[in-house]
Chains A and B, each alone.
Chain A
């Protein structure tokens, strides 16, 4: 098809034809080769296969084995037993429930705060020092989680932590934020929201930037109320970028490991023990590679499920229209 249409299209413009004549024969051969796209994609495909597909298949394979690195016995094929053990384990269900709660609250909190602040910054284009304020606001996002975890452990310290300095001044009471069964979960969520709200501000600003100016000006002329502008103009145009931000945050939040590890080590008890931390312990403290792999596969499937749900929601109207 391409071969039959190409000669017909070529004379349409004299300039490209002249350029083609000046090209080197090898470049022209490559350009015209039907393998050209494959050649371009080749390196990244090789990289993807070596670093993603092979390890994933390996992970899948190990998940069917009882394999403990520090045991003298060789890996033993157990079929789906590791997955059945997870299914029957009350600890794992508790772990998943806790992780999902953490994910909903952190992503929800960061999204709401990020959108509010994003709208404020969007509408304050002439504010003096706006760029500096934005740079400072984005700082938590670029800090390494190891530093954030360590600093907040000190900030929350019941004796010398600055958080308790303020609570004592304000309500005359000190709290053991990270050691209390009632506060540790919330204290960890607060840090995650603090850290990732800037990301959602960034995504909101990007989403707002993608809204056509003509539509906004029309809304301005029509004196459309703000809420209606958001619903009918901003969200339909910016939803893809916003949903992408939420999707990335959801996946990231679901596998959170570093913050709870540094701040509470999963404690008190198991109050901040999430899937990521449990995976780390199973794989790299207990060296139970079979159990860790099966839990990792389940985590991966959950992440894929989230991504699918978001993509479905994004294209819901189009899908429904096509069905009708």
Chain B
């Protein structure tokens, strides 16, 4: 146990001291912020103005939409970055040095997973604080205690999902070159697959389906619900329900799959099942890789 903790602390220090690695794992998030500042916000505000009167609350609601997407992406990009250490250790034979100590491969691997999870939690939490400051300074209201706890729980789940998801991917990779390619692919696709770069409604229906089946996008969905619930009620006060439903579907706040509106419970089930399945798959893959 002490050995495991020591390994996790070591991984953690290495990640935090590698400023380039930290920067690159935040790159996709930076891109979102730029896209948002340039056009995503305006586009959305313009669209909603046609339904209802523009109020400061509308801007807040759209900001909350951004924040939810950003937080779900940060969980994935930072945990993936953390697995870079695992790949580097393997390629540079550092793992051989660990293996001359009484450690099992499984313990070493577990230390990478725990580190990824901790890194994801730290960065998500910092990002959440940053987002709250952003929302408050742009005229929005701070999350209520209940909502804050709810958001924290979703973030926790989303970091867990991201840790397992990236563990699974990283097991296919054994060189740093391949890993940086993986990072580029995940970083690019993620913004689309979570419906952050482009709103869901702007995509053709097959792409919408892909997003809805992509488990990580369900964390985005849950976060949007948690952040935007009260704003939506305020902004769309007096607007016909069908318009509101349209907005929610177009911007990925609810999913309608094969004629059914998916409930939050469904999203939770999707997330939990994915965590379980990917954990098992990773264990099998890990055993195959080293036996």
Whether both chains belong to one complex is answered with no
Residues of A within 8 A of B (CB): none
Residues of B within 8 A of A (CB): none
